[in-house]
Structure 1
Amino acid sequence: MRGRAVPELRLYNTNGGVTEVMPRLAGAEADVQRLVEANMEALLGVRFLASEYSTGPIHAGRIDSLGIDENGAPVVVEYKRGTDPGVIHQGLFYLSWLLDHRAEFAHLVRDRLGATAAAQVLWNGPRLICVAGDFTRYDIHAIREHRRSIDLVRYRFFGRDLIGLEAVATATGRTPKGGREQPTGPAQPMRAGREGIAELAAAADEVLLGLGDGITRVQRKKYCAYQRLRNFATICPPQRTKVLVYLSLDPAEVDLVPDFTRNVKGIGHHGTGDLEVQLRTERDLERAQRLFRASYAAA
């Protein structure tokens, strides 16, 4: 990948005519790092913990950024201004160090976010996010050979005030479950009662995993999350008569339907997302798929 690798998407200013806004790299790596760290939750779905974190005198390194994602997984973020074939190996080196220093990370989380967050760190799903000007095809191939969750994110600045982020590739660190043909619904009629609701939850799981490649399924005690770069959906354990799915969509931009969709922004609930979708029947699952796809596309 050389030359003008971005953009399939081209940006234009329509004020007083149509003028293309040309993409550019940062003047320095630190410019990207400062911007992402200051807005990490909005840009990556990760809560920022520390910058230039020292790995001590033996390893003699500094982790660009440390964070924790919305499911409690530790996150190492590494930045490069342009294309750098060493960014993945460097990030994996720091991720390995982090797994050997769990108590130190938990102490950092406790200091920044409190004891509850520190007690809920998800150590079976640590992540590496590499933010760079570009990646080579060898980078994309390499992450698929690792047993770690790795996201390659390409950036571009546009003009003075705009930045674009593109998820180039994702390795889930697990046996792939995405990329299958998306079902239109269960093959057999569902049973009534609790067994039917359990089948409905399983069918929703199948639909969400089938939305595309690179989907990570993260199981927590009180919910199951479906993640690209960030969560796009969470499913709570089935209730007696319904399955609750929470999507990362703005409820103000959705036509809410009583007993089907609900605005839960500011209302406590398990999982993540401000739009609640209530599934009671196969028909509910069918009409929810449009919302599932919209949330997936926005993640």
Structure 2
Amino acid sequence: MSDSNTTDFINPSSFILLGIPGLETVHVWISIPFCTMYAIALLGNFTILFIVKREPSFHVPMYYFISMLAVMDLLLTTSTLPQMMDIYWFNSREIDFRACLTQMYFIHCFSAMESGIFMAMAFDRYMAICDPLRHSTTLTNSVVAKIGLAVVLHGGMLALPFPLLVSWWPYCRTNIIPHTYCEHMAVVKLACADIRISSYYGLFVAFSVSGLDVFFIATSYTQIIRVIFSLRTKDTRLKTFGTCGSHLCAILAFYIPRLFSFLMHRFGHNVPLHFHVLIANMYLLVPPMLHLIIYGVRTKEIQDRLLRLFTYKGS
């Protein structure tokens, strides 16, 4: 394994991941909170999946979508964190070229799927609050399954151009990536070619696709809020709004860190590189952990089922 900054290759057999540039001496300490967040995300999301599977009353669209989100959280974090831990703990920095492309694909794929699931959850809340009489007949199990399949296919197709474009570029400068995982633009910047297509496609996904999801989510919640404010009593308004409060918190936890990282990547040229990398790590690890808190703590039905489960086992 060579750590040289220059090489004569056209298509490297592997890349070298530096980790967090400038903070190599504290990699082990940085790994502690990251590993803790990963463990919480694993335990929490597996618990949610277990509870939803065990409780027949949870076999409804809202909990199906929460389960889909939990699966995406598990896949997204697992596609990146083991590689980070290899760097932080064992200084194992080499990653095969094809493995790098695969990781890049999974990151974009699962992120796009999560965005699609949030849009589906917003539609579910819209039907439940704005048109409750048609909710059960519209969002049947068959329809929910079709929505889930559409989300998977949409995310899979949307993410495919990222590794394909990266595999086409020639690399003749360096194989060293100043990052903890194969982040798309960090890899593309190593190419000795005109990479505007990759950059433009990334912008297209950010504005046209993710932006479209946000637009539909915002439209749904505009209608939901309009209906809520038309209710007669304050208690009814608060109770109705409480049914979608967890979803709103999860949306903010997902989109705000990504928006911040995107803006910083595009416009924060004076921001230290290690801060860019830390933020990129955080937005992949923090939301899956927060989803546990949001749905496990704020959703009373899940709390009650979890308490009954432990009470039954402890008796």
TM band (smaller chain): under 0.3
Higher percent of residues as helix: 2
Give the TM-score normalised by structure 2: 0.25
Higher percent of residues as strand: 1
Higher relative contact order (CA 8 A, sep 6+): 2
Give the TM-score normalised by structure 1: 0.26
